Chains A and B, each alone.
Chain A
Amino acid sequence: MTDHFIEDKTTKVNVNLETIGERVDFNDLKSGGFIKQRQKDLFTVRLRCPGGRMETKKLVEISKIADKYSKKGVVHFSFRQSLEILYVDYKEFRNIVSELEKIGQKVASCGPRVRVPTACGGCEYNPNGLTDTQGMAEMVDQKFFGTPTPHKFKTSFSGCPIDCSRTKEMDFGFQGIVEPVWEDPLCTGCTICSEACKEDAIVSDPDTGKPIFDPKKCIFCGDCIRACPTEAWKAKRYGHIVRIGGKHGRHPMESIEVSTFLPDDKVADAIQKTVEWYNANGKRGERIGNTIKRVGIQKYLDFMEPVFKHGSPVNYLAPGV
């Protein structure tokens, strides 16, 4: 594997450690954030931006630093929502890191460890959002960022089944869901919910206009709840669909669903225990999806049972009525 990464020997980066100085934490440097470019002596400095969110005041300061250190005066928004300062001379690592530190901005990681989580807007401001994806990404970044694993370990949070942050393609992904329940006495038979449901999980009774619900088709998006004028459809509970073993790259893999309606306060436990399992079972350089293929999903599920028992099984069907 060709890692374009400072610790990788194959790329033959001659970094003179003395010129960089002692103030840079070399463990930090190794755990990533500095990616060698094609151009001699120049590196990309990748910033740690969980969920892709940043205060505007910080962004202003970062743009000043980027303007000062990027030899070409450019940044790039990475595919995983981090801001990258391009064309930075390695001899200036010490200075750029300390200037970034002063404004509270950390450098990201790469290599075999837990990466910065990505997240969509979620329930704070997106009308479809069901979970606080940004809060979750922040929490996971605080607790797990940089934890060593056999290979990279990417997490993400989507606020609803539209899944803008692609939890199906992550090593470990969390997607918001809501369970709809219906109360007959409040229903006026207006038929809006059957129009609102894009999954054909609701059809209207031809006589009364009231919903006939097919739980097998429901993906827990909550459109019916938002559309119902009388609150006859209500939210019973919110949680996450948990997916494991997805990845991108040369050989993409789709993840496997391992839990539904996992509550917010069990997300950290789920990651903690999954990383523990991965470190115990994964071979060096093996993504967790391949570990699961090799070892068997049941072994993983047995190990996770103390956490996943707080959610519902993957084939859970909403009673609806």
Chain B
Amino acid sequence: MGEVKANAHLDLRGVMCPINFVKAKLKLETLEAGEVLELVLDSGEPIQNVPKSIKEEGHKILEVKKEGEHFRLKIQKG
């Protein structure tokens, strides 16, 4: 899969559940449908919970990259 260009970025390293999800949600609300948000999430609880909640809200996860102890995700607003 090629590199997807992001319209916005949010680094959620060190932000706990469920605040990280709430921040991601607020950020997504500022975007238009089809635009892409790049998120950085810690492994452990954040990566266990945030992607599934994002999916449940109807957004699409386009890309996931593991970078050491964290993950870089590209999310398309649904």
Q: Which residues of A contact B (CB under 8 A)?
A: 127, 188, 190-192, 195-196, 198, 209, 223, 226-227, 229-230
B3 at the interface (CB under 8 A from A): no
- The reply to whether B44 and A195 form a contact with Cβ atoms under 8 Å apart is yes
> How many residues on chain B are close to A (CB under 8 Å)?
18
Q: List 29 A-B contacts (CB under 8 A).
A: A127-B52, A188-B1, A188-B63, A190-B64, A190-B65, A191-B64, A192-B47, A192-B51, A192-B64, A192-B71, A195-B43, A195-B44, A195-B47, A195-B48, A196-B47, A196-B48, A196-B52, A198-B48, A209-B66, A223-B52, A226-B52, A226-B56, A227-B48, A227-B51, A227-B52, A229-B51, A229-B55, A229-B60, A229-B73
Closest residue of chain B to A196 (Cβ to Cβ) is B48
Residues of A within 8 A of B64 (CB): 188, 190-192, 229
- The reply to whether B71 and A226 form a contact with Cβ atoms under 8 Å apart is no
Closest residue of chain B to A230 (Cβ to Cβ) is B61
- The reply to whether B51 and A191 form a contact with Cβ atoms under 8 Å apart is no
Majority secondary structure of chain B interface residues (helix, strand, loop or mixed): mixed
- The reply to whether A127 and B56 form a contact with Cβ atoms under 8 Å apart is yes
Residues of B within 8 A of A192 (CB): 47, 51, 64, 71
> Besides A192-B47, A192-B51, A227-B48, 15 other CB < 8 A contacts?
A127-B53, A188-B1, A188-B63, A188-B64, A190-B65, A191-B64, A195-B48, A196-B48, A196-B52, A223-B48, A226-B55, A227-B51, A229-B64, A229-B73, A230-B61
Residues of A within 8 A of B60 (CB): 229
CA distance A321 to B73 in the complex (A): 25
**Which among A195, A223, A229 is the interface contact of B61 at CB below 8 angstroms?**
A229
CA distance A223 to B53 in the complex (A): 12
Closest residue of chain A to B44 (Cβ to Cβ) is A195
The smallest C-beta distance from B8 to any residue of chain A, in angstroms, reads 18
Closest residue of chain B to A229 (Cβ to Cβ) is B61
Residues of B within 8 A of A223 (CB): 48, 52
